[in-house]
Structure 1
Amino acid sequence: MGECTRAPSVTDLGSRILKVNHAGEHGAISIYSGQIALARFTAPDLIHELAEFRRHEQRHRAIFGTELQRRGQRRCRSYWLCGLGGFLLGMLTGLLGRNAIAATTVAVESVVLRHLEQQLAALRGADPAAATAISAIISDEQRHHDRSATHLQAGRFWPRVLSPVVSASTEAVIWLGMRL
């Protein structure tokens, strides 16, 4: 069988997932960086929390980066796209203020948490190193979601408008990353 017709192994899937997660963490760092830049003016009380979340995402990126390096894998082709898109999203939502910042984090983390659980189900037992890397970040991502949800004001404009757009965009970036 030629290289092009070979069915991908679970380890190949694990490497692809790790690449996409690594790029996604880079995007998350960029979102928080953009939000922090403008939250100084629109939501200064959130800066400490956003900086804490960004530190978590930097640690997550390092976890995935270390595992990719151990496997001899390059980062995902979507890495810089995630960074640029994340920064622009962060700047926009930072400009829109506290509710937009919180709505963005809740939307992104909802999608991410669902994907992480699906990834673990696919990789558990078949690619323990990838499953371990993914498992290492879930509690932080859940905390980001839950803490941000406490900042949302029910029935407000930005959560209703941003949540579907940010969720769909996050899904699209993950889909694209798995195919690049």
Structure 2
Amino acid sequence: MDWTHQDATEKPPATDLGNRIIKVNHAGEHGAVNIYTGQILLARVTAPHMVAELCEFRSHEQRHRAIFRAELERRGRPRCRSYHLCGAGGLVLGLVTGLFGSAAISATTTAVESVVLRHLEHQLEVLRGNDPDAVIAIASIVAEEQQHHDQSLAHGQTRSFWARLLDPIVTNSTEAVIWMGMRL
């Protein structure tokens, strides 16, 4: 079909890049849900004052995952091949950091969300004008991801041992998972 002569009710097809980004974001949100699940399990003992916040963050991530799942279904696309890897990796990361308490939990969230926010902003730039449905889905989660980052940063753990140790590990791992997901 010649999209230059479309009628007002038709939409141009989603871009391949938009499809891949939505798939990777869906897998990433699954990983985030599992990070918080693992942290909540252990924070009940190691950082009970954080459990309510972690539960709130997990509920946001569950909603984000549902947004991207709905967009995948609308596009007729399967989930990313990295979906289960993101889930397993997220759970392990959540359990390990939850074991070490509030400083490790805060450092992990700050590092993950820094990478996520950078990628979301880049995605919005490259998709704007090319895939409006992807832009809507991505833009709908940015404020909550920023909230997770800012609240975790506000815990004041940026100079802790755990922040110095975990930041490069979590940042590089998150970047690697995104890179791999875009290529699967």
Q: What TM-score range do you get, normalising by the shorter chain?
A: over 0.9
Distance 1:151 1:81 in 2: 29
The residue identity in structure 2 corresponding to 1:157 is F
Matched, 1:21 2:25: yes
Q: Give the match for residue 94 of structure 1.
A: 98
CA change 1:74–1:154 in 2 (3 A) is: closer
Which has more radius of gyration?
2
Alignment gaps of 5+ in structure 1: 1-8
Alignment gaps of 5+ in structure 2: 1-12
- Tell me the alpha carbon deviations over residues 81-135 of structure 1, each in whole angstroms, 9 at most, x when there is no partner: 0000000000000001000000000000000000000000000011000000000
Correspondence for 1:55 among 59, 66, 73: 59
- Tell me the alpha carbon deviations over residues 23-76 of structure 1, each in whole angstroms, 9 at most, x when there is no partner: 000000000000000001100000000000000000000000000000000000
CA change 1:31–1:176 in 2 (3 A) is: same
Correspondence for 2:162 among 130, 154, 158: 158
Tell me the secondary structure at the aligned position of residue 119 of structure 2: helix
Q: Give the match for residue 148 of structure 2.
A: 144
Q: Matched residue pairs, number?
A: 172
TM-score computed with the length of structure 1 as normaliser = 0.94
The residue identity in structure 2 corresponding to 1:91 is L
Q: Give the match for residue 35 of structure 1.
A: 39
TM-score computed with the length of structure 2 as normaliser = 0.92
Query: How do 1:67-146 residues align onto structure 2 when only pairs under 5 Å count?
Result: 67-146=71-150
Alpha carbons 1:10, 1:123 under 8 Å: kept: no
Distance 1:102 1:20 in 2: 24
Tell me the secondary structure at the aligned position of residue 175 of structure 2: helix
The residue identity in structure 1 corresponding to 2:110 is V
Correspondence for 2:178 among 160, 166, 174: 174
Tell me the secondary structure at the aligned position of residue 155 of structure 1: coil
Q: Give the match for residue 66 of structure 1.
A: 70
The residue identity in structure 1 corresponding to 2:85 is L
Measure how far apart 1:154 and its partner are.
4.3
The residue identity in structure 1 corresponding to 2:25 is N
Distance 2:60 2:81 in 1: 23
Alpha carbons 1:107, 1:166 under 8 Å: kept: yes
| RMSD of aligned alpha carbons | 1.0
Measure how far apart 1:151 and its partner are.
1.2
